[in-house]
Amino acid sequence: MKQFIRDYLTFNKRERNGLFILLAIITSLIVYLNVSDRFLKPQLVDFTKFENEIKVFSASVQKVNDSLKQEKGSDYTTVAASGNAIKKQSELFNFDPNNLPEKEWKRLGLSKKQIQTIKNYESKGGKFRKKEDVKKMYCIKADLFSSIEPYIQITDSKLEESRTEGKITAVFKDGKVENAIDLKKTKLESFTVVELNTADSAMLTAIKGIGPFYAKNIIKYRNSIGGFVAKEQLLEIWKFDQEKLNSIEKYIDIDPAKIKKVNINTCEASELKNAYIKWNVANAIVNYRKNHGKYKTVDDIKKTDLVDDETYRKIASYLILE
């Protein structure tokens, strides 16, 4: 036992010196921490200038809010907490959305971007035939539509019977006669046909049954294949079924001249690849041309191992020879 105590609890001269130095350092630090506050004066920070700036800012915000509340017949947003005063003015009044001037849309609270979207839709033949057509515009949010819906007054075309020749004339709100129609031979249609290869989202959502979801997918798929050559291609879009195609078929048209065509005698595989033509098929078509010379007819791509009859049927309309 004595040997154990001697081995672990006794110090040699060097160890004792080290211990004394350590104790001296600890003691010095304790003394310094206790007496330093008496010799070092704390540095005070003056926040007066900052507090005055806050008061000036708060006063300016309050002034703007007070001025906004005094306005009559308008609806305003609250001043943003960041200090940027945002004033969104809207005025509700009865209106017909068809060919409504930009300044009138602005009075309703629409932004420049929203107004431009509507004007683009109208420039391509789009019309609002009922209130719900306004709601279909993707730039018109649900809360905005609910506020302006009671004020939408779309003037329907009125048919005025002519006293001669058993005809009628379509008279519009501006009083101008659009055309004379023979009731016995012609059926008056009240819709605009949309060309699928050039239509934008606004025009597509104007079609009854096509919302933003389907409009987005139609454009995405159109771009992936290079354009539509048949209405039935819509059935290849996710969640687009025959019932929906039947419901919109009379509202849509296809111009095959608008599709993107690729010259198989000069293209590279990357230019050929699309939703119908996979990488291996594109490579096969290009490699066959490089090994055997230019194609004489589009049918010649069937000579490659990977182009079967089904693949050819899908891609032939998108290929040309030059």
pLDDT of residue 62: 79
Q: With cut-offs at 50, 70 and 90, classify the pLDDT of residue 70.
A: low
In whole angstroms, how far apart are CA 99 and each of 53, 105, 142, 267?
Answer: 49, 10, 22, 45
pLDDT at 151 over 90: no
pLDDT score of 109 more than 90 = no
pLDDT of residue 139: 83
Of 265 and 61, the one with more pLDDT: 265
pLDDT at 160 over 60: no
pLDDT over threshold 90, residue 26: yes
**What is the model's pTM?**
0.42
Instruction: Tell me which residue of 164, 195, 194 sits closest to 180, measured CA to CA.
Output: 164
Q: Residue 40's pLDDT is what?
A: 65
For residue 140, the model assigns a pLDDT of 84
For the cut 60, the answer to whether the pLDDT of residue 37 exceeds it is yes
Higher pLDDT among residues 247 and 83, named by residue:
247
Report the range of poorest mean pLDDT among 38-47, 75-84, 264-273: 75-84
CATH topology of domain 262-320: DNA polymerase; domain 1 (1.10.150)
- pLDDT tens column, 192-225: 789 999 999 999 998 888 889 999 999 999 999 9
Integer CA distances (angstroms), 73 to 64, 111, 112, 145, in order: 17, 19, 21, 18
What's the CA gap between 135 and 141, in Å, rounded?
8
303/288 Cα distance (integer angstroms): 8
Round to whole Å and give the CA distance between 295 and 265: 6
Q: How many whole angstroms separate alpha carbon 201 and alpha carbon 136?
A: 10
For the domain 191-259, what is the CATH superfamily, name and number?
AF1531-like domain (1.10.150.280)
Contact indicator for 221, 215 with CB cutoff of 8 Å = no
Rounded-to-integer distance, Cα 189 and Cα 183, Å: 12
Q: What is the mean pLDDT of residues 177-193?
A: 46
For residue 276, is pLDDT > 90?
A: no
Confidence tier at 277 by pLDDT (50, 70, 90): confident
Give the model's pLDDT for residue 79: 42
Cα separation of 252 and 231, whole Å?
8
Nearest Cα to Cα of residue 301 among 267, 250, 270, 251: 267
**Higher pLDDT pick, 296 / 92:** 296
Q: Coil, strand or helix: which one is 60?
A: helix
**Chain position carrying tokens 């945002």:** 86
Do residues 238 and 217 touch, judged by C-beta distance below 8 A? yes
pLDDT confidence of residue 4: 62
Name the amino acid, one letter, at 302. K
For the chain, the structural domain boundaries read: 102-151, 155-187, 191-259, 262-320
Asked if residues 154 and 128 have their Cβ atoms less than 8 Å apart, the reply is yes
* Strand ranges (E), the chain: 158-161, 167-171, 177-182, 194-195, 252-253, 262-263, 319-320
Q: Average pLDDT of the chain?
A: 77
Instruction: Give the mean pLDDT of 300-316.
Output: 88
Give me the mean pLDDT over the 37-53 stretch.
72
**Are 305 and 285 within 8 A, CB to CB?**
no
Q: What is the DSSP string of 64-122?
A: HHHHHHH-SS---PPPPTTS-----------B--TT--HHHHHHTT--HHHHHHHHHHH
